[in-house]
């Protein structure tokens, strides 16, 4: 079934049935190869949690003093950083250099684009399990992000998947993640007010602006020029793409305006001590 603007008013029930059917069958349309990547990514994340706890418990006095909740979050941020480095590197390369991928963002299934999205599904699933199990806050937005992104990527990985370019492009937002996580760890180590901490904080602010805000106009432009092809997609893929885009852009913009980003980006240097003794482990 095709989704056309003039067909929506008279075919709402039909569209809802189509969306429901595709929602149920999409997970069964993923190849064994890509499922193996999803499972491998999930296991790798789980192992990083175990290894992280073992390693830092022996090497870091600061880590040993943390609450159990902070130790869990420390481990999730290690896995998050590893995923971000892989996802951002592949996504940025494809968006910048794969001309065929850029020329046909709706229909072309770039092999590495499918792989990086499969890796993302495994990561989101592993992180989701840990976040729910240990009630890591803020729970609601994190869960919403992981569910939308994970299921959206799974739809893209399926044999019926469309608009892979847009999913890969959204992974460029991971460029800010390592700086976010490093700054959090420096805070827990009491180093956020040192020159190193302030420098990382500025990099975090700059990377958030660059990779989560300034990339949006081009994303919207790409939607505009691809709109005729998008209207030919099955309703489920049309819906899940725009739900993910709207949620991610809104969440990133709100965080930019009212969150700690503003404090990091615009805080006066005089409010922080110029030199602070660095605690060592």
Encode pLDDT of 70-127 as tens digits. 898 899 999 999 999 999 999 999 999 999 999 999 999 999 999 999 999 999 999 8
| Selection from 241, 230, 235, 120 nearest residue 173 by Cα | 120
User: What would the pLDDT profile of 196-220 be if each residue is shown by its tens digit?
Assistant: 888 898 898 899 999 999 999 999 9
Q: Which residues of 141-152 are buried (b: 16+ CB within 10 A; e: fewer)?
A: ebeebbebbbbb
* Res 264: pLDDT: 61
Task: Give the whole-angstrom CA distance, residue 17 versus residue 196.
Answer: 55
Task: Give the whole-angstrom CA distance, residue 255 versus residue 262.
Answer: 9
Do 69 and 152 form a contact (C-beta atoms < 8 A)? no
Do 174 and 91 form a contact (C-beta atoms < 8 A)? yes
What is the sign, positive or negative, of the torsion defined by CA atoms of 241, 234, 92, 153? positive
* Res 280: pLDDT: 34
Q: What is the pTM of this model?
A: 0.86
Residue 173 has pLDDT above 50, yes or no: yes
Do 241 and 149 form a contact (C-beta atoms < 8 A)? no
Task: Give the whole-angstrom CA distance, residue 47 versus residue 230.
Answer: 39
Q: Token pair of 128, please?
A: 């989701």
Do 187 and 197 form a contact (C-beta atoms < 8 A)? yes
């Amino acid at each position: 079934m095709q989704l056309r603007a003039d067909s929506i008013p008279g075919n709402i029930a039909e569209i809802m049935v189509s969306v429901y059917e595709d929602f149920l069958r999409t997970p069964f349309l993923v190849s064994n190869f890509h499922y193996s990547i999803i499972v491998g990514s999930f296991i790798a994340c789980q192992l990083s949690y175990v290894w992280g706890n073992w390693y830092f418990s022996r090497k870091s006095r600061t880590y040993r003093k943390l609450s159990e909740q902070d130790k869990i979050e420390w481990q999730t941020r290690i896995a998050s950083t590893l995923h971000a480095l892989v996802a951002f590197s592949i996504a940025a390369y494809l968006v910048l250099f794969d001309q065929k991928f850029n020329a046909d963002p709706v229909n072309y299934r770039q092999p590495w684009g499918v792989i990086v999205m499969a890796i993302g599904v495994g990561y989101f699933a592993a992180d989701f399990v840990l976040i729910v199990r240990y009630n890591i806050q803020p729970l609601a937005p994190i869960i919403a992000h992981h569910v939308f992104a994970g299921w959206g990527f799974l739809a893209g990985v399926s044999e019926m998947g469309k608009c892979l370019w847009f999913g890969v492009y959204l992974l460029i937002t991971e460029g800010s993640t390592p700086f976010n996580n490093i700054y959090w760890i420096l805070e827990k180590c009491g180093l956020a007010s040192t020159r190193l901490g302030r420098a990382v904080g500025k990099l975090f602010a700059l990377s958030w602006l660059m990779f989560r805000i300034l990339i949006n106009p081009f994303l919207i432009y790409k939607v505009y020029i691809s709109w005729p092809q998008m209207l030919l997609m099955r309703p489920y893929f049309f819906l899940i793409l725009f739900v993910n885009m709207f949620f991610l852009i809104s969440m990133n913009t709100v965080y930019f305006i009212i969150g700690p980003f503003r404090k990091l980006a615009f805080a006066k240097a005089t409010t922080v001590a110029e030199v602070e003794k660095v605690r060592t482990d």
